[in-house]
Each structure stands twice: as C-alpha cells, then as structure tokens.
Amino acid sequence: MLKNRKQNTISNCLKAFILALLSSLAVVVSNGTNVASDSVKETLKDSKILIGFWQVKASFSYPDYSVYMLVLIAFFGFVYLIPKVSKRNIRWGIPFSLIGALFILLCDSYFELNSWDKVFGSTTAIITSGIKGIGIATLIFFVYDIANRVNLEKLDVINNGFDKKSFMKLTLIMIACWVPYMIIMAPGAMGTDTRDQFAQILGNGEMSWSPGTVPRKPTDILLTNHHPVAHTLLLGIFLKFGELIGSYFAGIELYCVLQSCVFALALTYSIMKLQEYGMSKRLAKLVYLFFTLCPLFPLWGMTTFKDTPFSIMLLVVTILLYDAFKMPEKFSKSKYWVLAAALFVLMLVRNNSFYMILILLPFAVIHFRKDKKFALKVISVMLIPLLLFKVGFTGVAFKVAGVNDGSPREMLSVPFQQTARYIVEFENEITPEEEKNIRTILGGGELTLSEIAEEYMPDRSDPVKGEYNKYATTDDLVNYFKTWFAQLAKHPACYIEAFLNLNFSWFSFESNHDAIYYNGNTDKTIPDYLEGLDNPSVFDGARAAVSQMINALDRIPVISCLFEFSFYTWCYVVIFLAMLMRKRYTELLVCLPIFANYAICFVGPVAYMRYVIPMIVCIPFVIFITFSRSKNKKSDEKNENIELEGNEIWIK
C-alpha cells in the first residue's frame, strides 16, 4: 500500500513537472510569423526546413527569473490539483480548454492586427500558436475544473413568507449608498440616442437623426421604433414635466433618480429570492455588497439609455420564469398574469426581447411536453404577450399613431461588415453585377466600392451600416444577398474573419477599456437644444475622481474582472457548459432569454459594456441556480444523475 502511494506521488510529481513546463509556454512563446533575415537565409543556404526551424526557435524568448518562478509555482499548484481533478470534467474540460485557448489567441491577433494572421498567417504562425496554445489550454483546463467542482450549498429554508420589512430596509440602504452618484451624475448620462429620443418627443427635426434612416413622408411624425417607442415615451413624460416646471434638468434628474430606486428594488428582490431558494446569509451579503458598492450599478442607474430598464426587467423575468418552471405547484394563477405582464414590458423596453421570448417558447413546450396542462399554461403566458406586442402594439397601435418602424439595417451589421471586408481584400474580383447589387444597398449608387471600403472599421459596423440605402426595395435586398452568398462561396475565410473581428472584444481582455461606463453626457450638443440639460461643471472633479477610481480598480488583479465585460462572457460560457454537464435543463431553459440576448449581441454593431449590463445584473442569480446543491441530500444528485466524487469544493 505504501509502495503504491509512493508510486502515485512520484507519478503526480512527474505529471506536475511536465504540466508546469507546458504552462510556461503561454508566456515564453511569441506566436506569429517570424521572418528570417537575409543573413540567416544565406547561412542556411535557403533550406526551407532549417529556416522554418529557426523561425519557430525565434518565437521563444529567453526565460528570466520570473518564468522560473512561474514554473515553480505551477509545479506545486499542479501537485495539489492533479489528484483532485474531476473525472466527469475531463470530457468537457479538454475540448473547452483547447477551444478557449484558440479564442484567446485569436483575440490577441485581432486586437493587434485586425486579422487572424498571428494564428493562421503562415506555417510558422500555426506552429507557434499551437505551442503557445498548449500552455494556455493547460491553465484553462485547471481553472475550468476548479470552477466545475464548486458547489454552492443549498440550505433548507423554512418559508415564512416574503419579509417586506427586510426588503425595504436593504433597498433603502442600497439607495442611500447610491445617493452620491445621483448627485454628481445629475441629471444623468446621455448620448446621441438620448438626443434622438428627446427630439422625437419634442418634434425637433434638426435635433433628431434616426428618422433619416427610414423612408418617411413629410407629414409623418418623428417618432420611430429605432429606439423602443415605449422607452422614448417614458423619457418624454419626464422631459415634458421638466418643460412644465421650467427645468429640463429637474425632469430628467427625477427620471434617473426614480430609475435608480427601481433598479435597487429589483436587485434587492433578487437577493431575497436567492435566500428563499437556499442561499446562505454569508453569500447573500456578498451579493448585496457587490450590487451596493460596485460603481457600475449606481452609474448605470443614472443613465437615460434603454439598457437599464431592460436589465431590470430581464432580472425580474428570469426570477419569475424560475419560479414558474422549477416550482409550478407553487406558482399561482395571479403570478401567471404577473409573468405575462413582465414579458410584455420586457418587449416594450428592448426591441430584440420579442425574439428572445419567441426562441424560448418552442423549447419550453418541448421541455414540458409530458405535462400537457402545464405546457398549455406556458404557451398561453408567452403567446399572449407576444401577440399583444407584435400585432397590437407594433402593428395596430403604430399604424394608428403613424409611428415608423426601425430600419432593417439594424439587423444587417454582420453581412454589411463581411461585404465591406470582401471589398477591401478582393475588390478586383467583384463582377459588374455584384458591384451594382452592393452599391444599390450601400450608398444608394452614390458611393464607389473604394469609398465603401474606406468606411470599413473592423470592430464597429456603424460607419458601413450608416450607408444603408433607406429606399432599397425587397428586390434590392434579395439581389444583395444573392451577391453575399456568391462571395461567401468564393472566400468563406473573409466572412469568418469579418465576423470574428467584429466580435472578438466579447472574449478579449485587451480591448474596449474605454467603454466601462458613461461618466456624463457624451453628446455635448444636447444643451444647445435643451437649455440647462447638462452635467453641472461644479461636479466635474467628482466625476473625474469616480472615473480615476474605476480605472484604478480595473488595474487590480481579480477585481479588474468586474470591469471587463469579456469576463462575464467567459462566465456564461462556463455556466452554459455546467448546466449541460449537471443536467440542469430547467435552469438552462430559464436562462435561455439571457443566452439568446448574448447571441443577438454577436450580430450587433459593436461590443462594449453597455450591452452586457443586463447579463451582469443577472449573473449572481444564474450562478446560484446552476451551482447550488443540497449537501446532505441525494435528491439533487439523482436529478443530475451525478454522484459526488469527494473532491468537490463546497461554499456556504
């Protein structure tokens, strides 16, 4: 027995040493194409094999003491972790770590070169990326294994009803902590979207820009569904109130303060529900401190963008869906009406919410197909708000009020980027017919292909998308997509690169540090149209201090993850895999709108923090329903068909 233990120890040490060396490749190898100098070529007499070997060798940097220290730390870390590796994580962890390493390498390449040339640009790049990728994948595997051995202990909870007193107390404390932000951010952060919404309410065509994206009659009202009409009207109520009392500033400040209070109510409500589901007081306090002290939440409470009300409603809908799907026997008839109303409001505050709920509907029916009575309730509670929104609100109500729908261009960011990149790389291959089809859609025939190419920004589609011909017909779009498919068949790699270049920031820790939050009005023309509607200069220093504080926090290891929207993307990837591995299919169904929202973001115009705020708001709730488990009961294990291995990490 002692002999076997000794052999296992030696074997683990050997494995740990090899893995420590492999993981060091992540820092000692510089992947990409290394060009041999003329002197080297002359010395090696143009031997392709020897030159190639030199190029690979040149990618290795000479290790210094920090690398030796890393290997030593990694060795002891792996000695400790190897015996604890979960067998069930291996079949998920290995492919995930390899794909994750590839994504990280691609992100680095697109960040530096706007292409994948550092990975696929040459034989040398492929080889060196493979070597560096092994080191990255080794580290990712163990991070993934640790994350998936975590269990949040689910406590037995005696349900004494919703504690309204504690709920209000915690909410008021949170609001009190946010008051300084309400003061220094007054009357709230605004941008070009806000200016456009204000202009639509006031009927100021000079101030507005989105009506120009759709064909309109001179007699048409300015109100369009480019921004959610309901949100525009909500802003309009407070703008008009400010006009009534003689202060636009007071009207919009009131909106942002009330929005912050509702935001705090929703966040506190989610914590109370987590405790109801069995979260320990210790973890609940940590979540509460995260919501209360992290500056992202009060700052986004004080914005005029649609993302904040959308975040509030997405969190509420997720909680209600969990109650309905996980505990249908406790979900009363009145709660079904509340859920239906919440789904309808969710669609009102964000246009893409319709598609999120539409995607959820068939999966919910399939999941609950055995319980026909409950499946019928699910169909009704989703179908009614879907029809009310699409037929009643955006159909009949828009037509009666004369509201124009948004431009189709908002759904075409990806194909437009792919077309623009194709022009940049293969303009000489474009036929006259293809040129006509492209120019009809982009520029309305007034721009040349070269001028369209000049508008191409690899990581933002707005410039190219802005050239969309609003008078394009259905036939024009059909012809454009015929060209799009034909060019896809010719150069598929170009299309893949355009898509990755537009979306790599969702996974990269190296980009978009300038989009953490809005610290004031980014559209400085708003006060020119609406007198007094600007951030007071007396608080310029305070807003700058908040900005410096966040930038400082963003440089602190671990804490910086809270301000990196790519961190949350990776979290949701791990969560998705964990749900599959643990057979948490009901939880996956509950979170399907969140994952659908991520998918919609990937076909959006740009990647930045504004779009990920809703997912950040929901992440404590999603993590708990994914990783929680009753420690002293076998019920969860039977449901998941997974036995405890003895190497789990329990957090209470």
Q: Please give the average per-residue pLDDT across 108-128, as a whole number.
A: 91
The closest alpha carbon to 88, from 465, 644, 605, 567, belongs to 644
Please write the tens of the pLDDT for every residue from 394-408: 999 999 998 988 888
pLDDT of 218 > 90? The answer is no
Categorize the per-residue pLDDT at 42 as very low, low, confident or very high, splitting at 50, 70 and 90. low
Helix (H, G, I), strand (E, B) or coil at 60: strand
Q: Please give the average per-residue pLDDT across 74-102, as a whole number.
A: 90
Going by C-beta distance under 8 Å and a sequence separation of 6 or more, which residues neighbour residue 435? Answer: 449
* pLDDT attached to residue 541: 92
Q: What are phi and psi of 405, to 5 degrees?
A: -75, 165
Count of alpha carbons within 13 angstroms of residue 308, beta-carbon side: 26
Most confident of 162-171, 328-337, 447-456: 447-456
Please write the tens of the pLDDT for every residue from 444-481: 999 999 999 999 999 999 999 999 999 999 999 999 99
CB atoms within 10 A of CB 117: 16
Helix (H, G, I), strand (E, B) or coil at 326: helix
pLDDT of 641 > 60? The answer is no
Please write the tens of the pLDDT for every residue from 251-290: 999 999 999 999 999 999 999 999 999 999 999 999 999 9
pLDDT of 247 > 60? The answer is yes
Q: Please give the average per-residue pLDDT across 351-372, as a whole number.
A: 92
Number of H helices, E strands in the chain: 31, 3
CB 86 within 8 A of CB 645: yes
Identify the H or E element spanning 150: strand 150-153
* pLDDT attached to residue 642: 58
| Dihedral sign from CA coordinates of 521, 524, 527, 530 | negative
pLDDT of 638 > 50? The answer is no
% the chain with pLDDT above 90? 64
pLDDT of 327 > 90? The answer is no
% the chain with pLDDT above 70? 92
Residue 10 to residue 16: CA distance in whole angstroms = 10
For 80, the token pair is 């400790």
pLDDT of 195 > 90? The answer is yes
Going by C-beta distance under 8 Å and a sequence separation of 6 or more, which residues neighbour residue 393? Answer: 348
Residue 382 to residue 204: CA distance in whole angstroms = 37
**Greatest Cα pair distance in the chain:** 91
CB 36 within 8 A of CB 51: yes
Q: Which range, of 5-19, 213-227, 379-393, 458-472, averages the lowest pLDDT? A: 5-19
Q: What is the pTM of this model?
A: 0.92
Q: For the packed helices 307-326 and 333-349, what is the interaxial angle rounded to 10 degrees?
A: 150
Q: Please give the average per-residue pLDDT across 125-151, as a whole number.
A: 92
Helix (H, G, I), strand (E, B) or coil at 468: strand
Residue 471 to residue 477: CA distance in whole angstroms = 11
* pLDDT attached to residue 124: 86
Q: Please give the average per-residue pLDDT across 64-80, as a whole number.
A: 87
Helix (H, G, I), strand (E, B) or coil at 457: strand
Q: Please give the average per-residue pLDDT across 314-324, as a whole number.
A: 96
CB 114 within 8 A of CB 48: no
Q: Please give the average per-residue pLDDT across 531-555, as a whole number.
A: 89
In the predicted model, what is the mean pLDDT of the chain? 89
* pLDDT attached to residue 36: 55
CB 223 within 8 A of CB 229: yes
Q: Which amino acid is at 362?
A: P
Instruction: Provide the phi-psi class of 606: left if phi over 0, else alpha when psi is between -120 and 50, else beta.
Output: beta
Q: Please give the average per-residue pLDDT across 617-646, as a whole number.
A: 75
